Amino acid sequence: MKADFGHIQFNVDIKNLNFYHDLMIFLGWRILHQSNNMLGCGYVDGSSLWFTHPIHHVENDYDGPGMNHIAFHAESIDDVNEAVMFLITKKISALVDTPRHRPEFSIRPEDTYYQVMFETPDKILMEIVYIGPK
């Protein structure tokens, strides 16, 4: 069996849909669907991310069971730095002393793993990372 990645649904506060809209547009995704209570964003490979309202209001603990974070691959270190500037305009702080190089995650010595980690307004942990030649 072969199964491609399909989609992820994130349950978010509806008042934050504009943040996700702006972030996904910034990352080069297209809008598939937009209404008062749902945002669907698609990538060129056919995968999609959906943002909609939660049924229950509980706080997300990304260090507990479940998904820890979602990562978006950037094409360069400059792209990661540009993402940091985008986040600043949205008043979103970088976490865990990022942006920075993480050599412990590089596969080869001649490569780098350069990341920024951040929480969305709904406390969803996200990463934008460049993996490749230094």
Chain segment 3-18, per-residue pLDDT in tens:
888 999 999 999 999 9
Do residues 73 and 120 both lie within one domain? Answer: yes
Average pLDDT value over all residues in the chain: 94
Q: Is residue 61 part of a domain?
A: no
Range of the domain at 10: 1-55
List the one residue out of 1, 9, 43, 10 whose CA is nearest residue 24.
43
pLDDT in tens, 73-101: 999 999 999 999 999 999 999 999 999 99
Instruction: Say whether both 106 and 44 belong to one domain.
Output: no
> Please, which residues have CB within 8 angstroms of residue 95's CB and are 6 or more apart in sequence?
117, 118, 119, 125
